[in-house]
Chains A and B, each alone.
Chain A
Amino acid sequence: DAKTTQPPSMDCAEGRAANLPCNHSTISGNEYVYWYRQIHSQGPQYIIHGLKNNETNEMASLIITEDRKSSTLILPHATLRDTAVYYCIVRVPYNFNKFYFGSGTKLNVKP
């Protein structure tokens, strides 16, 4: 599975959009991009995933560049409860081996 690079931390004002970047320059054609988050020491929570088209669900939007070497997770109206560590993961769906989380981005949403 391709490795990812994320900034260690980011700040965002409450009510504003939070844009979390992820670099995955070595991604291969059959690898998907997944985003999870972990609030404090709770179990990680799935947010969204995609292959090459932009995706949106009730939690967030995922924007993947045309060359697929990077992506951005967008939380449209961040709240204090969105303060968490966000993990970008790139992997092949059928590859159950080694689900690699990396160190993620700590998002601090401030009042």
Chain B
Amino acid sequence: EVQLLESGGGLVQSGGSLRLSCAVSGFTFSNYAMTWVRQAPGKGLEWVSTLSGSGDVTYYAVSVRGRFTISRDKSKNTLYLQMNSLRAEDTAVYYCAGGRIGGGNFCVDPWGHGTLVTVSS
């Protein structure tokens, strides 16, 4: 069974840092692009970042570029999102997801249950 389990969310002050983790089981990292998607309270989905299946290409939304870093540890089957210089507008539920992205494709599946990040100003 495929499972993605996020952790690391919480309350942080504006300007602070937080690292999200996503423990993956049931599929092989190298076969999938891994993605973070967020959803602010009462708002829609916002794509945040994608790491290619090969692990050597990263993509970031303009809103987080230069502040967030996506990475993975294959030995631990874990995806990370290092978030620095956090702002109030980064407050959201952050979802970890697998999928096929690139070469004209955009298919985000499966999804984790999400972890809430709250940035206080």
Whether chain B is bound by chain A comes out as no
Q: Which residues of B contact A (CB under 8 A)?
A: none
Q: Which residues of A contact B (CB under 8 A)?
A: none
